[in-house]
Amino acid sequence: MKYNVLIVDDHMVVREGLKLILETNDLYNVVGEAKNGEEALELVEKYPTDVILMDLNMPVMNGLDTIKMLKEKNISTPIIILTTYNEDELMLKGLELGAKGYLLKDTGREELFRTLESAVKGEILLQPEILARIVSTKEKQSEETIGINRGNLTDKELFILKAAAKGFKNKEIADDLGIAERTVKAHFTNIFNKLNVNNRVEAVTVAIQMNLIHL
C-alpha cells in the first residue's frame, strides 16, 4: 500500500529535497506540492492525502491557520510540522492544534520515514532533541495554563512515558514490555486522563516538569 504525501513549504528547495527522499521509498507517493496554506487546502480536497508535511512560516496562509482550517473542514489528515531551530512556540501551538509530529528541515532520511510511519498510524513520534525545546518553552508558562493534575502513575505508565520521551513508537514499546500494541494505547489513554493532557507531547512535557521522568 502506498501513502499519499502532500508537501507544503514556501521554499522550492525544501519541497524538492523532500520529494527526492520520498521517491526512494516505495511506501510513499508525493501527491502534490503547495507553497502556502491556501494551495494546500485546495490540493487536500482535490487529491486523496494520507499525510501532510507542513511548514509553519509561509505567505498568504501560514501553517497554524492552515491546521485550523483543516480542523474546521473536518479534514483529519495527519500533519507533520516542518520546523527550524527558532520556531519553538509556533511548533508547540501546532502540536496543541493536533499535528502528529514535527521534523527539523535538515532531518535525516530514516527519521523522516519513522515520523511518517507513526503519523499515518495516528501516533506522535517524539524526537528527544526537539522535546527538550518544547519542555523549555513550556517551563515559561504557568502550571495553571498547563492544567496539571498530579494523578498517580503506575510503574508501567512511567516506563511507557520514558520510552516515548526517547522517541520509541507504540509497537517498539509493546515489544519491549511483551504486551499488545493496543494495550500500550490504552495505557496512554490512562496517562492522558491522569495528567489532564490531550497527547503524548503534553504528557511527556508535564511528566518532566513534575520530575516524574527525565530526558
Q: What is the CATH number of the domain that holds 204?
A: 1.10.10.10
User: What are the CB-based long-range contacts (under 8 Å, 24+) for 108-116?
Assistant: 109/21, 109/24, 112/18, 112/21, 112/22, 113/25, 113/27, 113/28, 114/169, 115/80, 116/3, 116/5, 116/28, 116/51, 116/80
Residue 131 falls within a domain, yes or no? no
Residue that finishes a domain, picked among 125, 151, 166: 125
Write the burial class of residue 118 (CB in 10 Å: 0-12 exposed, 13-18 middle, 19+ buried).
buried
Residue 214 falls within a domain, yes or no? no
User: Is the separation of the CB atoms in 161 and 195 below 8 Å?
Assistant: no
Clarify whether residues 20 and 76 are in a common domain. Answer: yes
Clarify whether residues 34 and 95 are in a common domain. Answer: yes
Q: So what's the pLDDT on residue 29?
A: 95
Report residue 120 as a C-alpha cell. 499515518
Residue 130 falls within a domain, yes or no? no
Q: So what's the pLDDT on residue 94?
A: 82
Clarify whether residues 83 and 7 are in a common domain. Answer: yes
Q: Which domain holds residue 26?
A: 3-125
Number of other residues whose CB lies within 10 A of the CB of residue 214: 8
Q: So what's the pLDDT on residue 175?
A: 93
Report residue 96 as a C-alpha cell. 496543541
Q: From first to last of the 215 residues of the chain, give the pLDDT tens digit.
A: 899 999 999 999 999 999 999 999 999 999 999 999 999 999 999 999 999 999 999 999 999 999 999 999 999 899 999 887 667 777 778 877 888 888 888 888 998 998 899 888 888 777 766 666 666 666 555 444 444 444 588 989 999 999 988 888 899 999 999 999 999 999 999 999 988 888 888 888 888 877 788 76
> What is the count of structural domains for the chain?
2
Residue 115 falls within a domain, yes or no? yes
Residue that finishes a domain, picked among 125, 153, 169: 125
Q: So what's the pLDDT on residue 201?
A: 80
Q: So what's the pLDDT on residue 214?
A: 73
Q: What is the CATH number of the domain that holds 22?
A: 3.40.50.2300
Clarify whether residues 117 and 141 are in a common domain. Answer: no
Measured between alpha carbons, how far is 31 from 43 in angstroms, rounded to an integer? 9
Clarify whether residues 85 and 144 are in a common domain. Answer: no
Q: So what's the pLDDT on residue 142?
A: 45
